[in-house]
Amino acid sequence: MQAETKNIQFDRIRILESGQFVLECNINAEAEVRKLLCVRCDVYDVRAVAAAKQIAAAGKVGVKVVYETEGGVDSADYVTDFSKILTDESVTESTSVLLRASVADTETELAGSTVRVRTVITLSPVAVDGAELEVFVSADGVCAKRDAITLTTLAGEVDRRFKVNDEYASGVSVQKILCYSADAAISKQTPAEKGLQIDGEICASVTYLSEGEVAQKNIVIPFCETVEAPDNASALLTVTVEKSSLTVGGKEGENVLALEVSARLSGFVFENAEESVVTDVYSPVCELDFSRPCLNFDEICGEYTSRERIAGSVDIPEDDVDAKRVLCAEIAENDLVSAKAEDGCITTEGVLSVCVVYEREDGAIYSTKIELPYALSHETRGVEAGDTVISSAACCDLYAKLKRGREIEVGAALSFVSYVVKHRETCVVTGLEEGAPVADAGDAIVVVSAAEGDTAWDIAKRLGVEEAAVQRQNPSVGFPARGGEKIVVYRMLSV
């Protein structure tokens, strides 16, 4: 017996164990710092290269601080490169890695004119590994059951940089930019003529001095980029802000803020192809010796976006003077701790930490840090418990307001993008050899009782006839069977 085989290729998608490292830096002010008002840390330009049992990660960390000296409110920043090694026994040189980074915690200490900042950074890698398997296709005299499966293969890696810019009238005199930050979020991805269209927005927050007072403005710039992709493609992407610049122009008293942001789309594009595989075999004339292992493969079933609002409040110390007004709010950390699939929904948990700068009734400027923990459920069709979820979160809107003299309320809009990977399992025939002849049953007519769930294939294999004969000779029986139906097979007619 000559059996025909072929190789099928596919890719596996895995979330690897996260790693953390601590970055410490000293930021020097021009004068002694009396009070630290706000700290923001960002991780960007993150890259990863796989080697045997390890991942070499690199990127940049930027730290911005707003503080008060005897001369008033001022700011400073610090940027440094980092390189770290993550170990994983399953990683090889052929593994492709997408690395996501976030700030988990920040601690500060004042020492004269020096601000000491200690930042905990989390690196979360996603690995894509290639695999292949030789499977049976056909042979003379063999009945084969075929099933269609969707195999995901890596079509290409995305590393696309783009710029957006816009101008905004402040309506006031801007004396000095104290701090500004920008975040990026993907809102949707749709098939386009030459690939996938990625829509999203850049959300920026600007804190500045105007006539000696601290003020804030939120800015939103939409973006639309197209990445090359084959038909029937899916993508696993992240978007990060790499660099931004803010200039002040326009007329005196009516300054214009000009913001330019350089962002980066990175990740993978996959091709989803349907493959017909043989999942079971038998022969009416001879026994067969064959292998039927389980094929484990992954399928990206969709990209889901949602926007949720969270809010919380904090009381200023009881021995403090009442707050007069909120000056600005700045994100300190946005740490998405986990994303989990449940039946019909995705649950995300994390903490958004916000620095709020406020003015007291006595004119003094103070700040407080508010942590907004969240556990959100996003209704998502087709998602099941056990699916793998790869998520990211960006803050697209932030506000802080004084509710009463000693209570400050903070709210934010979080934009989530989640990719769901389903782990599939199908038993396939991978090898086949002819065995001993099958003894003739001797019965021209056979009547059997179907069990619940029996298919025409199950009955045909049990009786050693062709599946088409079972269906043709029992037109009134619906398969899968309910159980108890009488199945009649005429062996003389099944040849």
> Where are the strands (E) in 71-113, listed by range?
72-87, 96-111
Distance CA 493, CA 473 (A): 9
What lies within 8 Å, CB to CB, of 319 at 6+ separation is: none
* pLDDT score for 341: 94
Output the pLDDT for position 302: 81
In this prediction, residue 192 carries a pLDDT of 87
The confidence score (pLDDT) of residue 495 equals 40
Helix or strand holding residue 163 (H, E): strand 143-169
pLDDT at 419: 93
- Compute the Cα dihedral for 17, 394, 27, 370 and give only its sign: negative
Residues 6+ positions from 32 with CB-CB distance below 8 Å: 69, 70, 112, 113
Domain locations along the chain = 4-274+297-426, 440-495
Close Cβ partners of 289 (under 8 Å, ≥ 6 residues apart): 432, 433, 434, 435
pLDDT tens-digit map of 17-69: 999 999 999 999 989 999 999 898 889 889 999 999 999 999 999 998 999 99
- Tell me what pLDDT residue 433 has: 86
Cβ(202)–Cβ(184) below 8 Å: yes
Rama region for 432: left / alpha / beta (φ>0; ψ in -120 to 50; rest): beta
Amino acid at 47: R
- Write out the two tokens for 86: 């993550």
Q: What is the side-by-side order of every strand in the sheet holding 345-360?
A: 323-342, 345-360, 365-379
State the architecture of 440-495 in CATH terms.
Answer: Roll (3.10)
Tokens of 158: 């995305």
- C-alpha 434/C-alpha 142 separation (Å) is 10
pLDDT for 432 equals 85
What's 89's DSSP letter? T
pLDDT along the chain (495 residues), means of 10: 86 94 92 91 90 94 91 89 94 93 92 94 94 90 91 92 91 85 89 90 88 83 93 89 88 88 93 92 86 91 89 82 86 91 95 91 89 93 92 89 86 93 93 80 79 91 87 90 89 50
Tokens 């816009």 sit at which residue?
A: 166
Determine if the pTM surpasses 0.95.
no
Closest CA to 377 of 405, 340, 408: 340
For residue 305, give both structure tokens.
């976006």
CA distance 131 to 234: 19
